[in-house]
Structures are given as structure tokens and as C-alpha cells.
Amino acid sequence: MKVVYIAGPYCAQTAWEVEQNVRNAECWALAVAQAGAVPLCPHTMNRYFFGAAGLSDEGFWLPGMLELVGRCDGLLLIPGWEASAGARGERDRAVKLELPILPLGRVAVPRVSPMLVGWIAGIEGA
């Protein structure tokens, strides 16, 4: 089974907006699972760790997420990714590693689309 990294906005000005970003990423992760791949959704991994001693974004989380990108079979860029410095860095890492990347373009609603299923099937054949 292939693993697909979910890249999109996490940080925001309020806790409510962060939670909305997390929930959106979870919806896309479910669509990836329904399409036949295992989603790696970093948004859900550290949402309650903010302020934990010694675990800064720059010193731990961002480098850690880039490491996880390299351990995946593909990257899914969810809507709004362009506004996120972290997601842009994840995309750049995937490009450097020549991982398949699926930008969703105008698809704004998480769903099991033929495009997503076909893309995952293409990863399987890679």
C-alpha cells in the first residue's frame, strides 16, 4: 500500500482557524484513504503540542515534516497550500526527491474523484 503525504495550511491567527485547517486536512486524508492509499496527515500529529518544551517549529516540527515527506510515495497539495510556507517547503522537498505530486487545481471539495483514484493507481504502477 502506498503512503500519500497531505500538504496544506496548518498555522493561522486563531486556535479556531488552526482547527479548521486541521479538519480540512482530515477530510482530504479520508478521501485519500477511500481512494486506496494510506494518508499521512501531519496536521493531526501535533495539534496539541503547541508550546511543548524544546519542540519549536523551526528546530523540530518543520524539519521533521520534511523528513516524513521523503518517506512517502506521493504528495497531495490541498487547497490553500500556496499560502503556507510549510506546505511550500514540503512541495519543494517532494520536487527535489522526484515524488509524484497531485495539485488539485479547482477541486475544492474532498472526495474520491476519478482523478484521485487514477493518480493513486499511477503511483502503484510507478
Q: Parallel, antiparallel, or unpaired for β 38-40 and 3-7? A: parallel
Q: What is the pTM of this model?
A: 0.88
Tell me the C-alpha distance between 72 and 66, whole Å: 10
Chain-wide mean pLDDT for the chain?
87
Cβ burial 85-109 (10 Å sphere, 16+ → b, else e): ebbebbbebbeeeebbbbebeebee
- Domains of the chain: residue spans and CATH: 3-125 (3.40.50.10400)
Q: Where does residue 51 fall: left (phi above 0), alpha (psi -120 to 50 degrees), or beta otherwise?
A: left
Q: How much is the pLDDT for 114?
A: 78
User: pLDDT, tens digit, for every residue of 15-59?
Assistant: 899 999 999 999 999 989 998 899 999 999 877 776 677 777 788
